Structure 1
Amino acid sequence: MKTTILLGTLKKEGLSNTETLSEFFASIIRKHGSECEIVKLVDRNILPGTYTDMGPGDDWPAVLSKITSSDIIIFATPIWWGNHCSQIQQIIERLDQIHDDILAGKGSALDGKAGGILITGDSDGVQHITGNITNFFGAIGIKSPPYAALSVISDQHQKQARPTREQLMEEYEKQYTETAEKMAKQLIGSVM
C-alpha cells in the first residue's frame, strides 16, 4: 500500500502549516500500514501546461509516476482567497491529459485509486475547495470515500502568526487525531 501526498505549500523554507499537517497525517496513515511520501511541489520544476510531458527540464513526468504507482493520492493545500493554492491548480492542469484520455475512451491511469484532501487556513474556503477537488477526482477516476478530508481552520494559521512546529503538531494531535485516523481507515479500506 502506497500513499503520495502532493504538498501545495507556497513556502520553500520555514514553517508551513500545510506541510506540518501533511507530516501529521503521514504518521497516521503509516501506522495503518501504508508507505507514505510527501512531494513538496514548490521544490519541483513543474512546467505550466496540460500535457503529461512539457519537454526538457519538466519534473512533472517523475511526479506523475509517483502518483500512478500509488494507491492513495492526497492533495494538501492552504486556503488562499477561498481557493486551493496555485501549486494544486497546476497539478489539476497537468492531470488534464488523463481527462483527455478518458474522453477519448482510453480509460484512466488513476482508476481505482483513492483520493483525500488536507486543508489548512484561518478563514472560509474548506467546502469550496473540498467540492472542487472531489469533483476533479471523480472526473479522472479517483475515488473519494466518505470522511476523506481533514481541514484545520485555526488562528495559528494566520499569515502573521508565528507558532512553532511543535505547537502546531500538539494542536493537530490533540484536536484532529480521531479525524485523521478515520480518514486513513476510509482511504485504505476503499482500495483494499
Structure 2
Amino acid sequence: MTLKALYLNTSLKTSDDKSNTSGLIQESAKILENEGVKTEEIRAADYNIPFGMEPDMGEGDEWPKLFEKIKEADIFVIGSPVWEGQLSSITKLVLEKLDASSSETNDKGQPVYYNTVAGAIVTGNEDGGKQTAMPVIFVLQHLGFTIPPNAEAYWVGEAGPGPSYLEAGQDSEFTQKNVTMMSHNLVHMSRILKENPIPAKGNTQ
C-alpha cells in the first residue's frame, strides 16, 4: 500500500508567492517520494480558516476540506516560518483547529489522529527554530499523532538578521542532515504503524 504524506505549509504567504518554508518542505518531500510515498503540499493561507473552536464554523469555512485531507494522510507535517522567535499566527490557528476537530474517532473508537505519523519543519533567518517546533510537536502528540525520533528539521541561520533558507539553507550540512533523518524516520514509523496499528485497549474515547 502506498503511503500518503501531507505537508501543511503555514507560511503567511499564499501559493502564488515564494516560500522558504516550502523550500525545506520540498527537500523532505523528495526523500519521501524516493521511498515510494505520495506527497502533497498545501498552503493554509490559500484557504479561509476562521477563528473559533468548532470543527466547522459554517458558511465559507474551508477547514473541513483540509481536515479530510489530514485524515487521509499516513504522514502529516506542519511547516512554519518563524516570526519574532515564534511560530506563525497561521500555525497557531491550525493547531487550534486540529484540537477543535479532535473529538472525532476512528473505526476503533480511538482519537482520529491515531496511527498518523507527524513532524515539524521550521524556517526563519535569525532564531526560534526549536522554540517554534516545540509547541507544534507537543500539540500533535497530545492530540494522538505519533512522533518518531528526530521529527523536526529547521533552518534559521546565524545569530542576527541574515539569509533565509532559499538563499543559504540548502548548503547547510546540519539542516540537510536533520531533514534527511526526519523524513526517513517519518516513513519508517508510518510503515510500522501500517503493519502494527496502536491497539485500542485503554485509549478509546
TM bin, normalised by shorter chain, reads 0.7 to 0.9
Equivalent residue for 1:55, pick from 51, 55, 58: 58
Structure-2 separation of matches of 1:109 and 1:158: 41
Q: Does 1:140 align with 2:138?
A: no
**1:27 has 2:41 as partner:** no
2:187 alignment counterpart:
188
List aligned pairs for 1:125-164, cutoff 5 A: 125-154=128-157, 158=161
Instruction: Give the CA deviation at 1:145.
Output: 0.9
Please tell me whether the aligned partners of residues 10 and 45 of structure 2 are also in contact (alpha carbons under 8 angstroms). Answer: yes
Cα distance, 1:46 vs. partner? Answer: 1.3
Structure-1 residue corresponding to 2:9 = 7
**Cα distance in 1 for residues equivalent to 2:172 and 2:34:** 17
- Show the 5 A alignment for 1:10-159: 10-12=12-14, 13-100=16-103, 107-154=110-157, 158=161
Is contact 1:50–1:95 with CA below 8 Å preserved after alignment? no
Task: Give the alignment's Cα RMSD to 1 decimal.
Answer: 2.3
Q: Helix, strand or coil for the counterpart of 1:79?
A: strand
In the alignment, structure 2 segments of 5+ residues that lack a partner are 192-205
What secondary structure is seen at the aligned counterpart in 1 of 2:8?
A: strand
Per-residue deviation at 1:20?
1.4
Task: Kindly provide the CA deviation profile for residues 155-184 of structure 1, in whole angstroms up to 9, marking residues without a partner as x.
Answer: 6x958x5x795x45xx42663333222211
Amino acid at match of 2:10: G
1:100 shift after superposition: 4.5
Greater helix proportion: 1
CA spacing shift, 1:173–1:29, aligned 2, 3 Å? farther
TM-score of the superposed pair, with normalisation by structure 1: 0.85
Instruction: Find the aligned partners of 2:156 and 2:165 in 1 and give their Cα distance.
Output: 16
Partners of 1:128 and 1:42 in 2: CA distance: 22
1:78 Cα offset (Å): 0.7
- The question of whether the paired residues in 2 share the 8 Å contact of 1:121 and 1:158 is answered with no
Distance apart, 1:8 and its partner CA: 0.9
Q: Return structure 1 stretches of 4+ with deviation > 4 angstroms.
A: none
Question: Structure 2 CA distance, aligned partners of 1:36 and 1:99?
Answer: 23
